[in-house]
Structure 1
Amino acid sequence: MESTQYVEIARAESERGELVLRERRGDGAPSVLELRANGVFVMDTLETSTERALASAALELVDDPAAVVVAGLGLGYTMHEVLADSRVQKCAVVEIEQALVDWMRGGTIPHGPALLADERVSVVVADVAVALAEARPASYDLLLLDVDNGPGYLVHTENADLYRAPFLAGAREALRPGGVLVVWSANPAPELEDALREVFDEAEARPYDVLLQDRDEQYWLYVARVPPSA
């Protein structure tokens, strides 16, 4: 029987709790990095389909995504997909955990230094609500909210505010005319859709099919757009 071993690579404490990066090893299988927050699985380097799908689907919604915000660094796969689009001239990544940024920059996460070396990338260590409040109005073409797997799967309970009208109004302020906000969710989130419709003139829920390790799964994209003439 194949055995799985877990080796802790890095650990950090913040006011939000404990963040752990560990390596998952199995007999004869490549090692996998796994990120956990307060003991809860967040993501790993084995299955990155959803992170990439969020970025690629969102980029298709904007004619000229020159300036993009990725809210949530994670292990960098959403940002990686954004940077693969040659239309992107600027990618601001907002991440609240300084330790995670340090692990990416310092090579604790091996692919991190190369990603963050891209001259189009700037990293802001802050709560995304604060970062958007401090941004110049109408600065961005696309905003990807990737801090949780939707309002039903919060990494931290405080993140619930990110799916409500006050935060969404701040996101709208940061977007240029024609700009788009995209939120990824593992399940239907009707309250999020209602909040988006309250703040934006145009909002919709789009089912999105993803193949996860040979399993067909359906996720949801919540899309809101600022009118071109705003």
Structure 2
Amino acid sequence: MALGFEELDFQQTPMGELFLRRRVEPTLGADVYEVKLGDEYLMSSLFTEAEEQLAHLGLAPLDGSDLAVLVGGLGLGYTAVAALSHDAVGAMTVVDALPAVIDWHERGLLPVSAQLTGDPRTRLVLDDFFALMRRDPEARYDAILLDVDHSPRHSLDPSHADLYTPDGLRRLARHLREGGVFALWSDDPPDDDFMADLGTVFASTRAHVVEFANPLTGGTSTNTVYVAHSAG
């Protein structure tokens, strides 16, 4: 266990200063890994339930084997590792726009890095997920799992916003195979307007509220996982 506080990495990026930190959480006596981009706290290993549920809920509607999965946003790696826990997943591509984040995992700096990079089904790709969705698809996937922005209404960069519109969702849907699933993590409660936009593109949609313990408050917190299933 680390003592006190340790800055594992710091890099300047086009989106701002990126920090990876490890500290001891006194309420648990355990190491906590945190990522901060500029003034925004992006993620913490204290709270991984919803990130893991993004994979479990996103893959649940799918049948069959040898599924192809695309994960948008690598982060601490918990969504990707949860996807790998499904034997039906045959190949997983994880896209992240920040070279530093991929480098953290390749250097084994995070708790799940070895599990992630040591699985032959995993491919880490440096790319802008949102730009990728605007391109003609080179490959199609059974599931696309996205965890980059705080919510459809609170994006980290203005260039992300168009994905959460009906036109942007239609472009994303081109990258899915018939009967494929799009799942999205959000820090906000379910958004009725966004649900309506999803409904214009996908055959069925649902917003799952994921509740988890919050050791900082002694209570519980919630995130939202949207799951949209295309026809097929």
TM-score by length of 2: 0.86
Alignment match, 2:20: 21
CA deviations 1:134-173 (Å, max 9, x no partner) are 5335x21111111123224433343322312232122110
Q: CA deviation at 1:194?
A: 2.5
The number of aligned residues is 223
Q: Does the CA-based 8 Å contact 1:203-1:222 persist in structure 2? A: no
- Asked whether the 8 Å contact 1:152–1:187 carries over to 2, the reply is no
Contact 2:189 2:209 (C-alpha < 8 Å) held by counterparts: no
Correspondence 1:58-69 to 2 at 5 A: 58-64=58-64, 66-69=67-70
Q: Distance in 1 between matches of 2:25 and 2:110?
A: 19
Shift in Å, 1:53: 1.3
Give the SS at the match of 2:89: coil
1:70-109 matches, cutoff 5 A: 70-109=71-110
CA contact (8 A) 1:129 1:170 kept: no
The corresponding residue for 1:128 is 129
Q: Which runs of 5 or more residues in structure 2 are unaligned?
A: none
Query: Structure 2 counterpart of 1:191, which letter?
Result: D
1:221 matched residue in structure 2: 225
C-alpha RMSD of the superposition: 2.2
Write the deviation string for residues 97-123 of structure 1: whole angstroms up to 9, x where unpaired.
111101111123253133112111111
In structure 2, distance between residues paired with 1:62 and 1:6 = 42
> Secondary structure in 2 aligned to 1:219?
strand
What runs of 5+ residues in structure 1 fail to find an aligned partner?
Answer: none
Letter in structure 2 aligned against 1:51: E
Aligned partner of 2:157 in structure 1 is 156
CA contact (8 A) 2:81 2:112 kept: no
Aligned twin of 2:32: 32
* Higher relative contact order, structure no. (Cα contacts within 8 Å, ≥ 6 residues apart): 2
Identify the range of structure 1 (213-222 vs 84-93) with the bigger mean alpha-carbon deviation.
213-222
Tell me the SS of whatever aligns to 1:89: strand
What amino acid sits opposite 1:126 in the alignment?
D
Quote the Cα distance in structure 1 between the aligned partners of 2:149 and 2:219: 21
Given candidates 151, 175, 189, the residue that maps to 1:187 is 189
